[in-house]
């Protein structure tokens, strides 16, 4: 397994353009299964999770071609299967997004438990309650989920929790159901708006995404379209936090600053100067955020990670890393996933002062973190370890970075361009930074 070797202490400066958003492209790729013909996705991120989703689509009969690193052509004309093998399901959490689209296209889907980061129990009950409300029957046998629905019908659905994935699965299935679905207490994340925009570009009739009430009028068929995936706000937020811990000055381009409003207000509270421009296009493609960090960060006070528009749970671990060196005490509450403080133990092994009680972590900043050997337990926890390492003058080695490859396409290359001293090493010791993203190509 590859590792990052980071010698911190370098001040980051410069500009970076974010990739397309992982959390937007994965449901969009799943939705492409419903659309006979060739869907063309621009700004598609080159990530392990995207390659894994493509492998599933191929298995189902789609033809997939990359044009360069960021344009993906998905031709779903020949979809013939509706069953995803266990070993492909296990590769990523988002494999469960195929339930709705396969039901819509093939009237059945055979799936099993999805994989993904171990950040909580992550049940999928809300996905299937929603699909059942639309008229699908879902049964479980020997660990396989058999979904059938020859005639999906629109209906009012109230989610007991605004799950991002369940909202997306229901929108996709309902977009080809008979009649209208009113989805209440829906998740409001920007990636849901992106899914709505993609589906509408393909002829669907979805409105209200970004609010808690989404209306989906089912259509008989969808047609292919060319679509540019929104920028990755989590990747952008990660690089801003990396800049902040080094006292740096970094501009992140290719995203709408409104997608990070909670996170930017926390960074401003910590003493960072923030300038933003929403740009001129609705998808934020020419928007930017500039962060100029003070010589010493202040504590963030109290921060609660919660559904949009609250502070993103995906940036909670990177924030924890920042707080380990910020003057004063920060209390972080994690209200989305029950096991998202895994990086705390590793940060403590680098000298951080963190105590965790249930869903609350108390972090007191100190000046003397030291290098060491740590391991990423999950995607964003790995990013947190890298952020801490950027501040530490000695050497820090981060192992298990396969988790990070799922969400950051060229982490080391970007940080190097901003001035960081980071090398990617393969297990047998050969340096690979700058030569490859470490992601196996299709």
Known catalytic residues are 117
Question: Interface with ligand UD1 includes 75 (CB under 6 A)?
Answer: no
Which stretches within 32-178 are classed as H helix? 48-60, 86-89, 99-106, 125-133, 164-174
Binder among 32, 112, 163, 330 for ligand UD1 (CB under 6 A)? 163
Out of 15, 161, 355, 366, point to the residue binding ligand UD1 (CB under 6 A): 161
Residue 171 found at the interface with ligand UD1 (CB under 6 A)? no
Question: What does the block give as tokens for 40?
Answer: 């063309």
Q: Which residue is nearest to ligand UD1 (CB)?
A: 165
- The tokens for 32 are 């492409």
Instruction: Please give the Cα distance from 187 to 195 (Å, whole number).
Output: 12
User: Which residue lies nearer to ligand UD1 by CB, 195 or 369?
Assistant: 195
DSSP 209: B
Q: How far is the CB of 163 from ligand UD1 (least distance, A)?
A: 3
Structure tokens at 89: 């399901």
The CB-of-387 to ligand UD1 minimum distance in angstroms stands at 18
In sequence order, what DSSP letters do the residues of 386-410 get, joined into one string?
HHHHHH-SSEEEEE-THHHHTT-TT
- Work out how close the CB of 22 gets to ligand UD1 at its nearest, in angstroms, rounded to a whole number: 7
Residue 165 engages ligand UD1 in binding (rule: CB under 6 A): yes
Closest CB 275 distance from ligand UD1, rounded Å: 27
Report the residue number, 2 or 314, with the smaller CB distance to ligand UD1.
Answer: 314
Cβ distance 230 to 191 under 8 Å? yes
**CA–CA separation, 301 and 193 (whole Å):** 31
For residue 161, the minimal CB distance to ligand UD1 (Å) is: 5
Stretch that binds ligand UD1, among 82-90, 160-168, 316-324, 325-333 (CB under 6 A): 160-168
Smallest gap from residue 117 Cβ to ligand UD1 (A): 8
- Residue whose CB is less far from ligand UD1, 6 or 28: 28
126 binds ligand UD1 (CB under 6 A): yes
Tell me if 52 contacts ligand UD1 by CB under 6 A.
Answer: no
What is the C-alpha to C-alpha distance for residues 215 and 63, in angstroms, rounded to an integer? 31
Exposed/middle/buried for residue 427 (C-beta within 10 Å: 0-12, 13-18, 19+): exposed
Contacts of residue 175, defined as CB under 8 A and 6 or more positions apart, other chains included, come to: 34, 104, 199, 204, 205, 206, 216, 218, 219, 222
From 73-81, 161-169, 352-360, 430-438, span contacting ligand UD1 (CB under 6 A): 161-169
Q: Please report the sign of the dihedral spanned by the C-alpha atoms of residue 85, residue 88, residue 89, residue 95.
A: negative
If one asks whether residue 198 binds ligand UD1 (CB under 6 A), the answer comes out as no
Is the Cβ–Cβ distance between 19 and 45 less than 8 Å?
Answer: yes
**Strand ranges inside 88-234, DSSP E:** 108-112, 137-141, 144-148, 156-158, 180-184, 205-207, 213-217, 226-228
Out of 6, 152, 166, 413, point to the residue binding ligand UD1 (CB under 6 A): 166
Residue number, 26 or 74, with CB nearest to ligand UD1: 26
**In terms of CB distance, is 73 or 127 closer to ligand UD1?**
127
| Closer of 12 and 157 to ligand UD1 (Cβ) | 157
The DSSP annotation for 27-57 comes to: HHHHHGGGSSSEEEEES----HHHHHHHHHH
- Binding piece for ligand UD1, criterion CB under 6 A, among 12-20, 29-37, 159-167, 251-259: 159-167
Asked whether position 314 contacts ligand UD1 by CB under 6 A, the answer is yes
Residue 124 contacts ligand UD1 per CB under 6 A: yes
Residues that bind ligand UD1 (CB under 6 A): 23, 26, 93-94, 120-127, 161, 163-166, 187, 191, 313-314, 336-337
């Amino acid at each position: 397994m590859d590792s990052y070797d980071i010698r911190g202490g370098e001040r980051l400066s410069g500009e970076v353009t974010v990739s397309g958003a992982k959390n937007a492209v994965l449901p969009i790729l799943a939705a492409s299964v419903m659309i006979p013909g060739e869907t063309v996705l621009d700004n598609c991120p080159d990530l392990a999770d995207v390659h894994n989703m493509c492998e599933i689509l191929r298995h189902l009969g789609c033809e997939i071609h990359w044009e360069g690193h960021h344009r993906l052509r998905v031709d779903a004309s020949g979809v013939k299967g509706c069953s995803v093998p266990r070993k492909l399901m296990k590769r990523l959490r988002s494999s469960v997004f195929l339930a709705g689209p396969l039901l819509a296209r093939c009237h059945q889907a055979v799936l099993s438990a999805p994989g993904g980061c171990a950040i909580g129990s992550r049940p999928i009950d809300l996905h299937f309650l929603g699909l059942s409300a639309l008229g699908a029957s879902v049964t479980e046998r020997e660990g396989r989920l058999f979904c059938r629905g020859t005639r999906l019908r629109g209906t009012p659905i109230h989610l007991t929790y605004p799950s991002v994935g369940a909202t997306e699965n229901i929108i996709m299935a309902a977009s080809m159901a008979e009649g209208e679905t009113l989805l209440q207490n829906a998740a409001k994340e920007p990636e849901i708006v992106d899914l709505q925009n993609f589906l509408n570009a393909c002829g669907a009739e979805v409105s209200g995404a970004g609010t808690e009430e989404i209306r989906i009028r089912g259509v008989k068929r969808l047609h292919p379209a060319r679509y540019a995936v929104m920028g990755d706000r989590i990747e952008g937020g990660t690089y801003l936090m990396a800049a902040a811990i080094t006292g740096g000055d970094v501009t992140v381009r290719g995203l709408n600053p409104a997608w990070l409003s909670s996170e930017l207000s926390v960074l401003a509270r910590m003493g960072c100067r923030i300038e933003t421009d929403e740009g001129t296009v609705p998808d934020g493609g020419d928007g930017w955020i500039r962060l100029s960090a003070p010589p010493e960060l202040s504590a963030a006070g109290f921060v609660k990670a919660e559904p949009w528009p609250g502070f993103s749970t995906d940036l909670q671990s990177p924030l924890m890393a920042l707080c380990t060196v910020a003057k004063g005490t920060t209390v972080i509450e994690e209200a989305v996933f029950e096991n998202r403080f895994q990086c705390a133990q590793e940060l403590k092994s680098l000298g951080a002062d963190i105590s965790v009680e249930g869903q609350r972590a108390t972090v007191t900043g100190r000046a003397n973190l030291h290098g060491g050997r740590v391991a990423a337990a999950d995607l964003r926890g790995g990013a947190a370890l890298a952020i801490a390492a950027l501040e530490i003058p000695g050497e820090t080695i981060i192992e298990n970075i396969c988790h990070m490859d799922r969400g950051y396409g060229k982490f080391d290359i970007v940080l190097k361009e901003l001035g960081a001293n980071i090398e990617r090493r393969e297990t047998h010791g050969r340096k690979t930074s700058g030569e490859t993203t470490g992601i196996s190509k299709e």
